[in-house]
Amino acid sequence: MLKLTPILLALAYGLIYYRFSAWRTAKELDSQSTELADPRLKRLTDRMAAALDLPRIRVNIYEIDPINGLAAPDGRIFITRGFYRKYQQGEVSAEELASVIAHELGHVALGHTRRRMIDFSGQNALRTALAMVLGRILPGIGVLIANGLASLLAARLSRSDEYEADAYAAALLTKAGIGVTPQKSLFGKLEELTKSRAGAVPAWLMSHPKTSERIKALEVLEARWDQA
């Protein structure tokens, strides 16, 4: 039992840390966000709401500059001010921004925010267990290897979530009559919009899949739906 104590403590720490992080994020979002009021975007979100048999889809503006969308642990959907500004400047279309909203709705609908709490706790426990074993076999570097393996697992799980949310968004956009084209066109713009240097990070360590691979996955879905 004593040998399991560090692992159990790691699990408990992961749960507590995630809940604290979710609480802190919610507080920050409450203080730095307002509901989005944009007639053109609302027409699109209303179409998605109708496809989901919902009265409406509420979207909030998070007052930060980085370009991103966010599904909060409590289920709220956010678009950053930086992203919305790109839309206002004409660099992103209303349909492309709607595809981001659909993607974040996917994270909520598929339970990714809840699953991340479980994943984080499990990864923390795995990191601790590996560090205990590898630390004895490879003193000095065992802990580093354990941290690296846990990071690889975290990145893989995150990429899986992104593919799932992409597929959900594609299905929703298709059902709403918006289509998958804006989703793919936005992916083609993302690296330039965010000034990302995807090549600087090995693909297996990236928390999001490469944009080219996300587009290919959507094209596979489209081909499958066309044949159905």
pLDDT averaged over 10-residue windows placed end to end, the chain, 228 residues: 52 57 71 90 97 96 92 89 95 97 94 65 56 59 59 66 94 96 92 62 56 91 84
Taking the CA atoms of residue 69, residue 82, residue 212 and residue 40 in that order, the dihedral angle to the nearest 10 degrees is: 70
The pLDDT score that the predictor gives to residue 32 is 82
Structure tokens at 100: 């981001």
The pLDDT score that the predictor gives to residue 72 is 86
The pLDDT score that the predictor gives to residue 205 is 43
Residues pairing with 33 in the sheet: 62
Collapsing DSSP to helix, strand or coil, 143 comes out as helix
What residue type is 45 in one-letter code? T
Q: Please name the residue that has the structure tokens 């299905």.
A: 171
The pLDDT score that the predictor gives to residue 113 is 73
The pLDDT score that the predictor gives to residue 20 is 62
Are residues 182 and 173 in contact, defined by beta-carbon separation less than 8 angstroms? yes
- The values of phi and psi at residue 33, to 5°, are -145, 155
The pLDDT score that the predictor gives to residue 62 is 93
Angle between helices 211-227 and 181-194 (to 10 degrees): 180
Query: Whole-angstrom Cα distance, residue 134 to residue 181?
Result: 48
Query: Whole-angstrom Cα distance, residue 112 to residue 165?
Result: 9
| Cβ-based burial of 96 (10 A; exposed 0-12, middle 13-18, buried ≥19) | buried
Structure tokens at 142: 């065992």
> Is the entire prediction scored with pTM above 0.75?
no
Nearest to 103 by CA among 78, 81, 66, 74: 78
